[in-house]
Amino acid sequence: MPAIEAVLDFIRKNKNAIKAVVLLGDALDYQNVSRHTINKPRLRERGGLKKDIDGFARDILTPIERAVKKGTQLHYLSGNHERWNDDDLLDSSPELEGILDTPVLLKLKERGWKWYPCGGHIMVGKVLLLHGDQIGSGTHVAKKLVQSVCETAIMGHVHTFSAFTTSSQVSAKRKWIGYTLPCLCTVAPHYAKGKPNSFTNGFGLIERWEENFNIYVPMIFNGRFSYGGQLYGRGCS
């Protein structure tokens, strides 16, 4: 996908400055085991789960691992789509636990990735990262996010960019910002049946300096984006 290739291009060209790569969940769609496709055989593919796992390892994990420098931290936060496999499927077939879990299927530990079950979070300096399904969605989800966690925080889940700033009730100097990030998937999903939506391609960057940080959200258009005066992605040398 051009949007993913653009991010990989950025990683390759800036690998010496990148300390960590974080997948914020729903990296695997899991349509073939989703509770939404039960009894809908047209939406499931014979051998689809294996195809999805093998394709994700080949097209996403391996390129990232090859692009980063040795020692870069690799984090994978589970989203609600991964939960369709790790919780919903295993709830109905508990005998498969330990065999069909996403970290096992992808051999994440062996590959050097740290896995966080759905609902988990990590801190990057003073910034909290989470998938965000526990926050929800809607027009004012960035506001819900920052008011729920009382931290500067970044989430995925809603596939579009938004931001909201709030301050402490007891100190005007304490500011928190909530961000929702764009996605690295199609912005015209089949299930939407042509209805308009606010999905956009993009990703998040955290730059830490001294005890502070800046957050950037590059937007990807036609497989390209700019950052720091340089273009990345399709056709960029």
Check which CATH number belongs to the domain holding 96 and give it: 3.60.21
Query: CA-to-CA distance for 88 and 128, rounded, in angstroms?
Result: 27
In a 3-state reduction of DSSP, which class is residue 43? helix
Q: Is 236 part of any domain? A: no
**Residue range 4-15: average pLDDT?**
96
Structure tokens given for 4: 């993913």
- In angstroms, the first-to-last Cα distance of the chain is 18
Does some domain include residue 131? yes
* 3-state SS, residue 231: strand
Q: What is the pTM of this model?
A: 0.91
pLDDT value at residue 139: 85
| Number of Cα atoms under 13 Å in the Cβ half of residue 210 | 1
Residue 233 covered by a domain: no
Interval 122-175: pLDDT, tens? 999 999 999 999 998 888 999 999 999 999 999 999 999 999 999 877 777 788
Return the pLDDT at 203: 97
C-alpha span between 204 and 144 (Å, rounded): 19
**Does a structural domain hold residue 62?**
yes
Within-domain flag for 235: no
Question: 203: domain range?
Answer: 2-227
Give pLDDT, residue 32: 76
Q: Is residue 88 part of a domain?
A: yes
Q: How would DSSP label each residue in 71-126?
A: T-EEEEE--HHHHIIIIIIHHH-GGGTTTS-HHHHHTHHHHTEEEE-TT-EEEETT
Cβ atoms of residues 164 and 143 within 8 Å: yes
pLDDT digits (tens, 9 = 90+) for 12-49: 999 999 999 999 998 888 877 777 777 777 777 787 88
- pLDDT tens sequence across 84-134: 777 777 777 787 777 788 999 999 999 999 999 989 999 999 999 999 999
Residue 183 banded pLDDT, cuts 50, 70, 90: very high
Distance, CA of 187 to chain centre: 15
Nearest CA among 51, 72, 36, 69 for reference residue 191: 36
CB neighbours of 99 closer than 8 A, spacing ≥ 6? Answer: none
How many structural domains are present in the chain? 1
Query: What tokens does 173 get?
Result: 């100097």
Whether residue 192 is predicted with pLDDT greater than 70 in this model: the reply is no
The pLDDT assigned to 115 comes to: 96
**Residue 232 located in a structural domain:** no
- Residue 237 maps to a domain: no
Tell me what the mean pLDDT of segment 50-76 comes to: 94
Helix (H) or strand (E) holding 177, with range, is strand 175-180
